[in-house]
C-alpha cells in the first residue's frame, strides 16, 4: 500500500508549502517545501513542483516504516493517518511507541487514542501538533475499505494471469 490523496493532503495542510528554507521552530532543523529536511541549507529556494517531488521521495522511508513495523491489516485511511504521524515524528519514535504496540495487538481504538499524546516538542504542548494529531486520529478512525497488507499480491496475481494466458495460447495452438 502507498499513501493516498487524503494522507498527502493532510501532510501538505500541516507542513505547509514554503519555497525558501526556514526554521519551523527554534530547536528544529532547516526545512523547505512540504516539510523536507534532508539536503536543506538556509537560503535554499525551490519551486512548487520541486516541493511535491521532494515530498513524494520523502514518503518512501515512511512507507517502509509502515511496511516494516505494522503487522496488522490497515485500511487506506489508517495508513494515511499513520504516514502523516510518522512523517512528523520519525520512524524510530514510531517503532518505540505505545501506539504501535497497541496497533499490532489489534487494539485499533487504543492506537488512535495514543495520537493526541504526541502533541509536544521538548515537553511543551504545541497547538499545531494538537490540531495535527486530532486530524490524524479522525482520519485513522474513519471508515475505508481494508486493503491487503501482502506486499506481493499484485505481482503474484499478475504473474499467475500471465501464466494462464500463456498456457491458454499453447493449448489453442495445439488444438488447431
- Catalytic residue numbers read 15
CA dihedral 101, 104, 109, 111 (to 10 degrees): 40
CA atoms within 13 A on the CB side of 105: 11
CA atoms of 44 and 34, how far apart (whole Å): 14
- Cell 499513501 -> residue: 3
Cα 76 to Cα 8, 53, 141, 153: the distances in Å are: 12, 22, 11, 16
**Could you tell me if 32 and 20 are in contact, meaning their C-beta atoms sit under 8 angstroms apart?**
yes
Exposed / middle / buried, residue 82 (Cβ in 10 Å: 0-12, 13-18, 19+):
buried
Measured over the CA atoms of residue 158, residue 79, residue 59 and residue 13, the dihedral's sign is positive
126: region left, alpha or beta (phi > 0 left; psi from -120 to 50 alpha): beta
Amino acid at each position: 500500500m502507498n499513501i493516498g490523496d487524503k494522507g498527502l493532503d493532510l501532510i501538505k495542510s500541516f507542513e505547509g508549502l514554503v519555497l525558501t528554507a526556514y526554521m519551523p521552530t527554534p530547536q528544529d532543523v532547516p526545512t523547505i517545501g512540504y516539510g523536507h529536511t534532508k539536503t536543506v541549507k538556509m537560503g535554499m529556494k525551490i519551486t512548487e513542483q520541486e516541493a511535491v517531488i521532494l515530498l513524494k521521495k520523502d514518503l518512501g522511508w515512511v512507507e517502509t516504516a509502515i511496511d516494516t513495523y505494522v503487522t496488522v491489516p490497515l485500511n487506506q485511511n489508517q495508513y494515511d493517518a499513520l504516514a502523516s504521524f510518522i512523517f512528523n515524528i520519525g520512524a524510530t519514535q514510531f517503532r518505540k511507541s505505545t501506539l504501535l504496540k497497541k496497533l499490532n495487538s489489534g487494539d485499533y481504538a487504543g492506537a488512535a487514542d495514543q495520537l493526541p499524546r504526541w502533541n509536544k516538542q521538548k515537553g511543551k504542548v504545541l497547538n499545531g501538533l494538537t490540531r495535527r494529531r486530532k486530524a490524524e486520529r479522525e482520519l485513522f478512525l474513519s471508515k475505508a475499505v481494508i486493503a491487503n497488507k501482502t506486499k506481493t499480491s499484485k505481482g503474484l496475481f499478475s504473474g499467475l494471469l500471465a501464466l494462464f494466458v500463456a498456457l491458454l495460447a499453447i493449448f489453442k495452438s495445439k488444438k488447431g
